[in-house]
Structure 1
Amino acid sequence: MKMWSSQNLLFILSLALSRVTRAAEVIHAAGYKGREVTVSCPYEEGYTSHEKYLCRNDCAKNYDVMIKTSEGEKGRYSIHDDNKKQVFTVTISDLYPTDAGKYWCGVTRFGMDPYTAEVKLEVEPDSCCDRSTNIQSYEGGSVSISCVYNSQYRNNLKYICRGKQPSTCLQQALITSDNKRKGRFRLTDDKVSRKFTVSITSLTQEDSGSYLCGVHRNTGLDVFSAAELEVKGQRSQIYQTILH
């Protein structure tokens, strides 16, 4: 009878553990190396006054706990608890590739701590891309940069920026699909062929350089493709140089 009771207790305990794991939602987070990422962890109303924390791996050891709400800031980690929204947020700054992995949003209580969410964090290099499209045009003329995207992004925001740094591209966008004409730039989106095109007029040699085509995603990192633009001198000047 005692052996049956022990087995029954172990079964109930394992069932409770499985319920805690299954009840936790999965949050996918991503950030760029050297930048920061913020993770939002929801919790139930009954835990508003409880301490919250973010832990890593199996959360079995003290050093698995990265930060608690009672600490506020700890190294590269900071935490804030919004009791009204029942969400606590953790920001990790100066990301390293080794920060990638599995985390848990936890709540401290008497007995077994509940994990309100599982966090899967990805850390990507802040550079793009392995391949780029080379485009040439002439000073005073115009050029079109075509950017292909996948079908699931038909209704997503599109944009283009200069440089090769994805983390700041949207903030420094030259034009977006929300504002399809801006100065010398014009953006058209062909959702049938899944391609948006950015036209630049009145080119100068200062327009030469690297460009990133971006598609904004609601979750995870934005999707990019790259182009290299070379603006040569005016055609008439080049022709006169050849004649002389």
Structure 2
Amino acid sequence: MDPLMLLFLLIAGLTGADSVSSVGRVSVQSGGSVTIPCSYDGRYKTHVKYWCRGSGWSSCTYIVRSDSPQKDEVSISDDPDQSVFTVTMNNLTAGDSGYYWCGVEISRGSAVGTRIYLSVTEGSPGLSVDKQEMTGVEGDSVSVQCRYEYYYRELSWCKMGGSCASEGSGSLDGRPVLITDDTVNKVFSVTMRGLERKDTGWYWCDNGNQQIPVHITVNQRTTTTTSTEQTIRASAAVSTTKMVLQTVSVHDEEGENNEKQKWEQVLDAALKAGTGVLYLICTIIAIQLHWSSCKKRGTNQREAEGGANTNHGS
């Protein structure tokens, strides 16, 4: 690094630390990964950000910069809207332990920054979380479990650029926060209630000596609302369809019943008419038979009387 640049960095490091802030000491297990957030003054949104290694400015060696964001297992990403840049280190080894700096170049030859100590351990780290990325929904709650091997003073939950809340029920920048400590399992849990979009950001667990950053993203409840509205509309459409089908079914049944009644009436009338005709035919036949019988009887009687008269004449 240019000697003049180092001089300016040294001066800036003494005077501009407040312009860049981050956690102070992070512990990570060997083979693991960690993301470290660095907050900077909003005036530096367009400036180059960097991550370097060294105990002081004079020995700080660049690893990654926002204009050259990837090197081996280390990457840097800038979010100007939040005035935060993050550095992610993967597959950490014991050799990665040491001091690092979050830095922002102000102009050629000057910069501001803050120092972080990274400790990579073979065993369990002094302070850790299962996930550094958490997601919640507006109005709901989100819980973070911070696992510790020991603590120096008190366990606390802090927001980057804001305040801290300690064990018990309290608030963090106006947001209700509940912190409980399970000393048997060495876990302190943080629950943030009534989430709002503005709660999105970086936080960290603190055991009095080490910190572990956690990013919380609060999403809008639009998906649930839309799904509910779609469900209501779909249910209404199904109900309407059922009503139409039921109405058509009723009309069809009524039509079938009316048609059936008509045919029954026609059949009944036909049966009655047929019975009447049959009765009339039977009556006519009976009369004809009776008339034929009477006629035959009369003929026989006349023939008998005629025969008798012939005999008397002889």
Give the TM-score of the pair, scaled to structure 1: 0.47
Give the TM-score of the pair, scaled to structure 2: 0.37
Q: Relative CO higher for 1 or 2, CA cutoff 8 Å, sep ≥ 6?
A: 1
Give the structure with the higher percent helix. Answer: 2
Higher-Rg member (1/2):
2
Give the structure with the higher percent strand. Answer: 1
